[in-house]
Structure 1
């Protein structure tokens, strides 16, 4: 090895070591500070979730109604407790048009909401959120699901080629294709600043719930629908933990800090694995390393958009970490194509 190359390697190791010392110091500090800060904010009380059997096509409306009723009760409880913000969030979810597969108003809160006719859907997209997502911030996650649902249900004009409009390549569902979007806030997401966001612990606890959701979707649709998981940020770690043998067609990682796996093949998924990162996404500046700390692993290893990882990398444009579902964005167009099965039309990054 040349002296110049050896010196560069030493510098790389020094910078990596410096970065990890900074990260570990921050993690230790947050491990002390965050519990103390959290102790000052008592949880808003809420009723236990509605007890419902696993949904079927025939019982969907009954399940939706049961969870709307539970959200109404949670809104009243929050209002009585003086938490107007949570009461407003719960009250909105209790609206007569909301299709809730699940709702739990306790703690940060969890909800699974459906957009479209799930029982008759040929294509189903499941959105899995990242950090700092709960009932109090659910609106921004729901906006992403609505943007995708709107794109999937655009009116279909005369086509130049299958799935491509005359007006410039906008992905459209083939005639007769029915779609649904599921916003799955089915786990307690970590805070962006804190210890949990740098480890796989929350993801490992969330994975069984995501697997259960996929089983329910297969039951409701009779096993005939194409299912894609669209996993954002820390949500990509959740999807990775659930991926092995999961009955889905595509797993899409956007704005991912890593999955905890060295390669896409290590996920042992039956699905195609896709990845993208916007040019303005700060995650691109996070070193893709992992290290042992207090009996757990901190960091998520390989970069999902690197050639070595082996995912199908697609274009996401210049957007930032929260822009993957922005209307009109290249990332949303490509996500739509993947959900519709137009894999040959996906533009590559």
Structure 2
């Protein structure tokens, strides 16, 4: 689940998720009497809605066709193992690969992808990984990774591809700007210089389409989880010992983080706009990390049923709502953020995500 409800295009037209208005099901007229036991009826209605939506999505032919595969060269082959000293050459190799991918996309007649690749190939960009084939993947570093005292890894949700990467980059850039220009009790002459930070935009998996059956299961997350664990292990070898590392997981990206949590060497995991993690509780994630969760009041994901159910031989839905008391996460304030608004400059959610990144849990405002 990602941004497609707000901007961008979707690959399919099946009505799988509720519209952005947040209306999950047709409500009774205002004049209708309230049922005597609203909670059980609401639960049954949500379960019925989930089954109906998923059934429709699975058995109804999809009208839209997937976007044709975009040709691109294979990823760059690094001539030396990735270490702090070889990072500059790795950045350069991946930029050159993105440049070649831009040329290939242009020849193919895809001006939009060519422009996206060209932007990533700019001299100012630091690409830890790049693959321009298909929907594409990229891992970008903002800041000095080899000297960072605090690292935030952003894990995106559905419909995040190279074609929509610019908005993912804007989220990472907004956090990095906030961190490097932050003022408060831990900054200023009396407290020494501002801490050294790095923000990483990790598009390291094939995200599902927002309007698809794939987005309702953990399949893509299960494929991504070992990649995320391996990436975090690699980060630990590139960053200084003792660096504080946080995962900031948006929408379906929170499912990825939930599936990767066991054995993940992270200090904090923050779930924002989450449909669930596939686990019944924060404790069931089996992680040493502090688990945080937030959802803005204007986020339509609140109307997605927080259940798991068997359907056609697979499990759909992601279980307990991460901002519920039953889940047991540390719930923080996201004010009126909508599903795409958690990294908006000046927002309560961005400020709290920065505090989590900087390991200031007492400064985080609770939801």
TM-score if structure 1 supplies the norm length?
0.90
Look up the SS of the partner of 2:265 in the other structure.
Answer: coil
Mean CA deviation greater in 251-260 or 217-226? 217-226
- Aligned residue for 1:169? none
Query: Contact 1:75 / 1:91 at 8 angstroms: preserved in 2?
Result: yes
2:281 to 237, 254, 263: 263
| Equivalent position of 1:99 in the other structure | 126
CA deviations over 1:186-224 (Å, ceiling 9, x no partner): 111000100010000000001111111101110001432
Q: CA deviation at 1:42?
A: 2.0
Equivalent position of 2:186 in the other structure? 162
Give every structure 1 segment of 4 or more consecutive aligned residues whose post-TM-superposition deviation is greater than 4 Å: 4-10
Deviation by residue 1:14-52 (Cα, 9 ceiling, x = unmatched): 41343133212332146x316x612xx421101110122
Does residue 286 (structure 1) correspond to residue 304 (structure 2)? The answer is: yes
Q: Which residue of the partner structure matches residue 150 of structure 2?
A: 123
Taking structure 1 as reference, are residues 135 and 23 closer, same or farther at Cα in structure 2, changes over 3 Å only? same
**In structure 1, distance between residues paired with 2:219 and 2:136:** 18
Match of residue 327, structure 2, among 298, 301, 309:
309
Match 1:318 to one of 320, 329, 336: 336
Partner of 2:318: 300
Whether contact under 8 Å (1:54, 1:216) holds in the other structure is no
Match of 2:49 in 1: 19
SS of 2:152's partner is strand
What does the per-residue CA deviation read over 1:216-258, in whole Å, with 9 as the maximum and x for residues that have no partner? 1100014321100000000000001111021110000000000
Q: Is the 8 A contact 1:56 1:216 kept in 2?
A: no
Partner of 1:168: none
RMSD: 2.0
Match of 2:11 in 1: none
Between the aligned partners of 2:247 and 2:39, the Cα distance in structure 1 is 38
1: CA distance, partners of 2:68 / 2:87: 34
**Equivalent of residue 50 in structure 1, options 54, 57, 76:** 76
- 1:275 corresponds, among 285, 289, 293, to 293
CA distance in 1, matches of 2:47, 2:357: 41
Q: Secondary structure at the match of 1:113?
A: strand
Contact 1:123 1:179 in 2 (8 A): yes
Aligned to 2:89: 62
The Cα of 1:286 is off from its aligned counterpart by 1.4
Query: Aligned with 1:245: secondary structure?
Result: coil
Aligned length: 332
| Aligned residue among 62, 76, 81 for 1:33 | 62
Distance 2:44 2:194 in 1: 58
Report what 1:239 is aligned to. Answer: 257
More helix by share: 1
> Structure 1 residues 120, 13: closer, same or farther in 2, change over 3 A?
closer
Any unmatched runs of 5+ in structure 2? 1-33
Q: 1:79 to 1:264 in 2, by over 3 A?
A: same
